[in-house]
Amino acid sequence: MGAIAVSKKEEHQIKRLCKELKIPTKSGLIRAALEALDKKTEEERLRREIQESVRRCAAADKKENRELFQVGVARRISGD
């Protein structure tokens, strides 16, 4: 891959991060950033999947509780 055009501000940011993170090369910094973004993206995807699963389970529990409540009310009315 060839050179990537960056602004002076971004160049300073790259140099600062390389120094702060003790990463000797720009390409090393880019690799570290890609790994971090990949990890963050995966965590967000898993979070969304878990939230969706929780919503589905909550809906199923709500339906089951409603059915159990109706059976319980019918039992009390009939005197069982």
- Helix (H) / strand (E) element for 6: namely none
pTM above 0.75, yes or no: no
Specify if 12 maps to a domain: yes
Segments in 1-80 forming alpha helices (H): 8-21, 26-78
Confidence of residue 29 (pLDDT cuts 50, 70, 90): very high
Number of domains in the chain: 1
Question: How big is the chain by its Cα radius of gyration, in Å?
Answer: 27
Residues of the chain with pLDDT > 90, as a percent, come to 65
Q: In angstroms, rounded to a whole number, what is the distance separating the alpha carbons of residues 56 and 68? A: 18
Specify if 39 maps to a domain: yes
1-5, 57-61, 69-73: range with highest mean pLDDT = 57-61
**What three-state secondary structure class fits 67?**
helix
CB 41 within 8 A of CB 35: no
Specify if 2 maps to a domain: no
CB 24 within 8 A of CB 18: yes
Range of the domain at 56: 8-78
The pLDDT of residue 79 is 62
Specify if 54 maps to a domain: yes
> What mean pLDDT is predicted for residues 14-34?
96
Specify if 69 maps to a domain: yes
Specify the higher pLDDT residue, 1 or 66: 66
